[in-house]
Amino acid sequence: EAGVTQFPSHSVIEKGQTVTLRCDPISGHDNLYWYRRVMGKEIKFLLHFVKESKQDESGMPNNRFLAERTGGTYSTLKVQPAELEDSGVYFCASSQDRRGLVNTEAFFGQGTRLTVV
Amino acid sequence: KNEVEQSPQNLTAQEGEFITINCSYSVGISALHWLQQHPGGGIVSLFMLSSGKKKHGRLIATINIQEKHSSLHITASHPRDSAVYICAVVSFLVNTDKLIFGTGTRLQVFP
């Protein structure tokens, strides 16, 4: 069974450009999470989908970030326009249990390293 | 101050040593996760626990809910155990299903 897959693995873009990150969760996992680690800091929550619905987007830093999960399968995270402080590693995770991370482990992707120059 | 604190931040050990990594948290939690990240690699779940103790191979995780503390132990450490170990908690808050992460403990085990 394929794990959580993220594309691209690395992205270097100029300030002001747009970047779209993609996450393919494990098939059948309704819960999909986006997290981010900026340099030297702990990993922080961005948002949580249950199927195609945004359950919690309290961690999204500002309106330059847009996440979608059309059809409840893969998800995209678009940053437009990118700023220098957006640089970091973006992780996607998925879990199966409808009760969420209280009751089950999360499966993480390899992450996308975003560098904004 | 972070809601989840880990100690030590860095740890070196000789192969065969017993390792302990500590995690303290300041929020009410429903569950605690221990995760492992190898250099350049993704994050792998090691344990999810809400009480007591769990064991998997040479790894043991314990949690004391009253003291808001968890420990991850590695017995007979091996160089392949070298990685960053991350503690993350699920907050008690209703309608919240997210992990709050510690900063991680970087472990290096030398032969």
Rounded CA separation B14/B73 (Å): 15
Residue A84 exposed, middle or buried by CB count within 10 Å (0-12, 13-18, 19+): exposed
Least reliable range by pLDDT among A79-88, A99-108, B82-91: A99-108
Cβ atoms A82, A13 nearer than 8 A: yes
Looking at residue B58, its pLDDT comes to: 97
Q: State residue B94's pLDDT score.
A: 67
Cβ of residue A61 closer than 8 Å to a chain B Cβ: no
Chain B residues touching A110 at Cβ < 8 A: 41-42
Task: Supply the pLDDT for residue B39.
Answer: 85
Q: Does A106 touch chain B (CB under 8 A)?
A: yes
In chain B, DSSP assigns E strands to 4-7, 10-14, 19-25, 29-37, 43-49, 52-56, 59-64, 69-74, 83-91, 99-101, 105-110
* Range from A52-56, A100-104, A106-110, B105-109 carrying the lowest mean pLDDT: A100-104
Of B4, B50, B98, the CB nearest to A33: B98
Which residue, among B101, B87, B83, B103, has the nearest Cα to B40 in the 3D structure? B83
Provide the 8-state DSSP code for B76: S
Mean pLDDT over A55-75 rounds to 94
Q: What pLDDT is recorded for position A21?
A: 98
Instruction: With beta carbons under 8 A apart, name residues in chain B contacting A105.
Output: 33, 45, 48
pLDDT tens, position by position, A11-62: 999 999 999 999 999 999 999 999 999 988 999 999 999 999 999 999 999 9
The answer to whether A5 and A111 are in contact (CB under 8 A) is: no
CB-based contact B33 A106, cutoff 8 Å: yes
Q: Check residue A70 and give its pLDDT.
A: 86
pLDDT of residue B82: 97
- Tens of pLDDT, residue by residue over B9-27, are 999 999 999 999 999 999 9
What distance in Å separates the CA atoms of residue B34 and residue B32, rounded to the nearest whole number? 7
Bridge partner list, B71: B22, B62
Confidence (pLDDT) at A98: 74
Reduced to 3 states, what is the DSSP secondary structure of residue A85? helix
Sign of the Cα pseudo-torsion (B27, B59, A96, B43, in order) = positive
Residues of B in contact with A56 (CB under 8 A): 95-98
With an 8 Å Cβ cutoff, is B44 touching chain A? yes
State whether residue A73 sits within 8 Å of chain B by CB: no
For testing the chain A interface, which of B98, B100, B101, B105 should be mutated: the one with the most A CBs within 10 Å?
Answer: B98
